[in-house]
RNA sequence: GUGGUUGUAGCUCAGUUGGUUAGAGCGCCUGAUUGUGGUUCAGGAGGUCGUCGGUUCGAGACCGAUCUUCCACCCCA
């Protein structure tokens, strides 16, 4: 067989030791906050029945689903009629499974399937990869991780507030606070669509106004008029959008044109609860042009933007009142958020925010000159490890220079040198690799020094 | 899915209208230093020019296809 060039599919990546430990650093922070807020972990399969996934993300989403071709003779049920019917008709004959597209829909499936084992309100978190057959770009991959936290079986706006505070805590712990949590409400979007003269055309309306910050008022106005909207009303609306004001006054302004509305009431409750819970709204921005997850969100919607990095949203979420309905379980309201691990990684990399210790493989490396000192080192290694110090001994007998070089290269902060003199006296050359300082100490002193560091 | 863009050493990039043997910096290896890394100096290794095909006496350069990268649209973490 001829040799083949090793490669991986477009939009996928290998993660080396350094990337992996950095990804774990982020994941650990997210995970510990999920637990702090009372979420329990679940996992679902990478592959789902295609029927579970299709029709949940809109036409666009269906196109981006990775389908898995049936095993065995996958053409056995295909007729020439199917072939002529085109790819859509063929699909159901040759594929019955697909890779999950997000974690929310599999979770809804999970809730319905395990309804008898679940006590509501149910809070779950889930950290797993998802797949989309999208065309890759920066911060946009075909395989990426989502870190989801959802609460189902409760209508309270307090859950939305909880998720907001969770987001704030996660980014505080990651030492990246240049974020804006944008918030809006589907009910307001729907009423705004009617207001400008596009009743029932909420989705095209949202798609247009979502582009405001990208293409500007004029272009969006053009697009809306194209849909049949009233230009005077659009102008009126954009005036409110343009106001840089407190959330309370923004709500008042929007109420002045929409009248009373469920969305406005809920957002008022949201800000009230946030205040009562001691949360900050400093990085929470009410943005009536925010439009997310149009196919299934029904209430409050969120999106987190990195203020000083050009990348898509790094976290998003919202409330869905009837996601379990399609699986035959009515009246279960859920609200959740999803952190984009890969994008957060890209942001922290760009802002240089990973602690150096993340890449540190061990605290100390034992170096030696010959077989005898190597063997002596094995005992020390065991002692260090039982004292809880991560430690390694250089495995081969080679020049000491090489061993020092190795410790330096992979970022080990301390080295312990063993030679004939050290074996005799029981005092070892203990070197701080960063400062270059070296002192002669016995093993207990060394352990103590590292532990106090 | 539509339109564009990128690919030369481990990394970042030069490479003239198509013309001998494809370069630099950094990194890597060896030595100066047989018990000390990160500095310095000397030497060395490393490339089927993304891949396949075409034009040509001759292709890293031109043409086509394909893969990959990034960008815009669409949508989204």
Q: Is residue A99 part of a domain?
A: yes
Nucleotide nearest to A343 (CA to C1'): B77
Q: Please check whether residues A280 and A144 belong to one and the same domain.
A: no
Question: Which residue, A105, A157, A127, A97, is CA-closest to A33?
Answer: A127
A44-66 confidence digits (pLDDT tens): 999 999 999 999 998 888 999 99
Residue nearest to nucleotide B75 (CA to C1'): A60
Q: Identify whether the C-beta of residue A99 lies closer than 8 Å to the C-beta of residue A45.
A: no
A282 touches strand B (CB under 7 A): no
Per the structure, the count of domains in chain A is: 3
Taking the C-alpha atoms of residue A389 and residue A141, their distance in angstroms, rounded to an integer, is 38
Task: Characterise A189 by phi-psi region: left (phi > 0), alpha (psi -120 to 50), beta (else).
Answer: alpha
Nucleotide nearest to A206 (CA to C1'): B75
Instruction: Round to a whole number and report the distance in Å from the CA of A287 to the C1' of B43.
Output: 65
CA distance to A65, A189, A203, per residue, from A220 (Å): 30, 15, 14
A140 touches strand B (CB under 7 A): yes
Quote the pLDDT of residue A243.
80
Q: Please check whether residues A347 and A285 belong to one and the same domain.
A: no
Instruction: Round to a whole number and report the distance in Å from the CA of A281 to the C1' of B45.
Output: 60
Q: Which nucleotides of B are covered by protein (CB under 7 A)?
A: 1-3, 28-30, 33, 35-38, 48, 50-51, 67-77
Quote the pLDDT of residue A4.
67
Single residue among A290, A325, A359 that ends a domain in this structure: A359
Q: Identify whether the C-beta of residue A329 lies closer than 8 Å to the C-beta of residue A116.
A: no
Instruction: Round to a whole number and report the distance in Å from the CA of A94 to the C1' of B73.
Output: 31
What's the angle, vertex CA A35, arms to CA A350 and CA A167, rounded to 5? 40
Q: Please check whether residues A92 and A105 belong to one and the same domain.
A: yes
- Two structure tokens written together for A50: 């295609």
Task: Characterise A447 by phi-psi region: left (phi > 0), alpha (psi -120 to 50), beta (else).
Answer: alpha
In the DSSP assignment, the letter for residue A54 is T
Q: Identify whether the C-beta of residue A108 lies closer than 8 Å to the C-beta of residue A55.
A: no
Nucleotide nearest to A145 (CA to C1'): B77
Residue nearest to nucleotide B2 (CA to C1'): A135
Q: Identify whether the C-beta of residue A151 lies closer than 8 Å to the C-beta of residue A122.
A: yes
A213-267 confidence digits (pLDDT tens): 888 888 889 888 888 888 899 998 988 888 888 899 999 999 999 988 999 999 9
Instruction: Round to a whole number and report the distance in Å from the CA of A135 to the C1' of B53.
Output: 27
Quote the pLDDT of residue A309.
85
Q: Please check whether residues A295 and A353 belong to one and the same domain.
A: no
Q: Is residue A5 part of a domain?
A: no
Q: Is residue A39 part of a domain?
A: yes
Evaluated on CA atoms A429, A432, A438, A439, the torsion sign reads negative
Instruction: Round to a whole number and report the distance in Å from the CA of A22 to the C1' of B11.
Output: 21
A141 touches strand B (CB under 7 A): yes
Taking the C-alpha atoms of residue A195 and residue A189, their distance in angstroms, rounded to an integer, is 10
Q: Please check whether residues A173 and A113 belong to one and the same domain.
A: yes
Write down which residues 357-386 in A have CB closer than 7 A to strand B: 369
Write down which residues 147-176 in A have CB closer than 7 A to strand B: none
A144 touches strand B (CB under 7 A): yes
Residues contacting A52, CB < 8 A, separation 6+? A105, A106, A109
Complex ipTM above 0.90?
A: no
A108: containing domain: 12-177+314-359
Q: Is residue A2 part of a domain?
A: no
Instruction: Round to a whole number and report the distance in Å from the CA of A424 to the C1' of B33.
Output: 26
Question: Which residue, A194, A388, A189, A398, is CA-closest to A298?
Answer: A189
A289 touches strand B (CB under 7 A): no
Q: Please check whether residues A51 and A155 belong to one and the same domain.
A: yes
The enclosing domain of A88 has a CATH number of 3.30.930.10
Q: Identify whether the C-beta of residue A89 lies closer than 8 Å to the C-beta of residue A77.
A: no
Taking the C-alpha atoms of residue A295 and residue A410, their distance in angstroms, rounded to an integer, is 48
Quote the pLDDT of residue A109.
96
Instruction: Round to a whole number and report the distance in Å from the CA of A371 to the C1' of B41.
Output: 33
Taking the C-alpha atoms of residue A149 and residue A38, their distance in angstroms, rounded to an integer, is 10
A61 touches strand B (CB under 7 A): yes
The enclosing domain of A365 has a CATH number of 3.40.50.800
Q: Please check whether residues A343 and A419 belong to one and the same domain.
A: no
Q: Please check whether residues A406 and A418 belong to one and the same domain.
A: yes
Single residue among A271, A286, A307 that ends a domain in this structure: A307
Quote the pLDDT of residue A211.
86
Quote the pLDDT of residue A3.
61
A440 touches strand B (CB under 7 A): no
Q: Please check whether residues A268 and A320 belong to one and the same domain.
A: no
In the DSSP assignment, the letter for residue A90 is H
A67 touches strand B (CB under 7 A): no
Q: Is residue A203 part of a domain?
A: yes
Instruction: Round to a whole number and report the distance in Å from the CA of A453 to the C1' of B38.
Output: 21
Helix, strand, coil content of chain A in percent (nearest 5): 45, 20, 35
A424 touches strand B (CB under 7 A): no
CA distance to A205, A287, A290, A297, A394, per residue, from A213 (Å): 15, 11, 10, 22, 56
Taking the C-alpha atoms of residue A447 and residue A385, their distance in angstroms, rounded to an integer, is 10
Nucleotide nearest to A5 (CA to C1'): B51
Q: Is residue A22 part of a domain?
A: yes
Q: Please check whether residues A240 and A333 belong to one and the same domain.
A: no
Q: Please check whether residues A173 and A183 belong to one and the same domain.
A: no
Q: Is residue A67 part of a domain?
A: yes
Q: Please check whether residues A267 and A376 belong to one and the same domain.
A: no
A5 touches strand B (CB under 7 A): yes
Furthest C-alpha separation in chain A: 92
Quote the pLDDT of residue A1.
41
Q: Identify whether the C-beta of residue A311 lies closer than 8 Å to the C-beta of residue A141.
A: no
Q: Is residue A4 part of a domain?
A: no
Single residue among A245, A273, A307 that ends a domain in this structure: A307
The residue ranges of chain A whose pLDDT is under 70 are 1-4
């Amino acid at each position: 067989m001829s040799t083949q060039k090793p490669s991986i599919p477009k939009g996928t990546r290998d993660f080396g030791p350094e990337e992996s430990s950095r990804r774990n650093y982020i994941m650990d922070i997210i995970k510990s906050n999920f637990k702090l807020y009372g979420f329990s972990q679940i996992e679902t399969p990478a592959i789902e029945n295609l029927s579970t996934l299709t029709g949940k993300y809109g036409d666009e989403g269906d196109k981006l689903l990775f389908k898995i071709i049936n095993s065995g003779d996958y053409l056995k049920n295909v007729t020439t009629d199917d072939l002529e019917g085109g790819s859509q008709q063929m699909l159901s004959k040759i594929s019955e499974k697909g890779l999950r597209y997000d974690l929310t829909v599999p979770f809804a499936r999970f809730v319905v399937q395990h309804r008898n084992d679940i006590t509501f309100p149910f809070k779950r978190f889930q950290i797993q990869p998802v797949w989309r057959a999208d065309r890759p770009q920066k911060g946009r991959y075909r395989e990426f991780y989502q870190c989801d936290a959802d609460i189902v079986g409760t209508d309270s706006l307090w859950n939305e507030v909880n998720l907001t505070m969770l987001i704030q805590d996660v980014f505080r712990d990651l030492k990246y606070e240049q974020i804006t949590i944008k918030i809006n409400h589907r009910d307001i979007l729907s009423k705004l669509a009617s207001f400008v003269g596009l009743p029932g055309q909420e989705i095209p309306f949202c798609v247009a106004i979502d582009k405001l910050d990208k293409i500007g008022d004029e272009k969006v106005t053009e697009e809306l008029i194209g849909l049949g909207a009233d230009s005077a009303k659009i102008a009126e609306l954009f005036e409110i959008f343009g106001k840089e004001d407190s959330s309370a006054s923004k709500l008042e302004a929007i109420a002045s044109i929409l009248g009373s509305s469920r969305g406005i009431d809920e957002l008022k409750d949201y800000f009230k609860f946030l205040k009562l819970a001691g949360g900050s709204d400093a990085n929470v921005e009410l943005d009536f042009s925010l439009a997310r997850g149009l196919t299934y969100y029904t209430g409050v919607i969120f999106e987190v933007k990195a203020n000083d990095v050009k990348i898509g949203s790094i976290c998003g979420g919202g409330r869905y009142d009837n996601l379990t309905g399609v699986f035959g379980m009515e009246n279960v309201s859920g609200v959740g958020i999803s952190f984009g691990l890969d994008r957060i990684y890209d942001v922290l990399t760009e802002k240089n925010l990973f602690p150096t210790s993340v890449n540190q493989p061990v605290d100390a490396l034992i170096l030696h000159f010959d077989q005898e000192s190597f063997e002596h080192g094995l005992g020390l290694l065991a002692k260090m490890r039982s004292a809880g110090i991560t430690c390694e001994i250089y495995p081969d007998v080679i020049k000491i220079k090489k061993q020092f070089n190795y410790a330096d290269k992979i970022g080990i902060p301390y080295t312990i040198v063993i030679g004939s003199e050290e074996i005799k006296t029981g005092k070892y050359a203990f070197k701080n690799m960063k400062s270059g300082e070296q002192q002669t100490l016995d093993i207990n002193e060394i352990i103590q020094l590292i532990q106090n560091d």
